[in-house]
Structure 1
Amino acid sequence: MQWRVLAACLAAAALAPMAASADTYPSKPIRMIVPFPPGGTADIIARVVSDKMAQDLGVALIVENRPGGAGGGVGTMEIARAPADGYTIGIATVGTLGTAPATAPKALYDPAKDFSYISNVAAMPMLIAAGPSSGATSLAQFIELAKKSPGRLAFASGGTGGVAHLMGARFEVASGTKLTHIPYRGANPALNDVTGGQVDVIFDALASSWPYLQTGRIHALAVSGDHRIPALAQVPTFAEAGLPTVSTRAWYGLIGPAQMDPKTVDRLYAAVKKAVDSPEVRTRLGKLDTEAIGSTPDAYKKQVLEELDGWKQLATSQHIVAD
Structure 2
Amino acid sequence: MKLSVLDQSVACAGRDEGDALRDTVALARHCEALGYERFWVSEHHGMPTIVGSAPEIVMAAIAARTHRIRIGSAGVMLPHYAALKVAEQFRVLDALAPGRIDLGVGRAPGSDMRTAMALNPGAAHAADGFPQQVVDLQAWTRGQRHQGIWAHPRPPVGATPAQAPELWILGSSNYGAQLAAHLGLPYAFAYFFMDGQGCEEALDLYRRLYQPSERHPTPQPTICVWALAADTADEARHHALSRDRWRLDRQRGLLGPLRTPASIVEQGFTDDELPAVAATQAKAFVGTAAEVGARLRALAGALDLHELVVNTWAHAPAVRRQSYALLAREFALTP
| Greater relative CO, 1 or 2 (CA 8 Å, sep 6+) | 1
- Verify same fold: TM over 0.5: no
TM-score (norm 2): 0.27
Q: Which has the greater radius of gyration?
A: 1
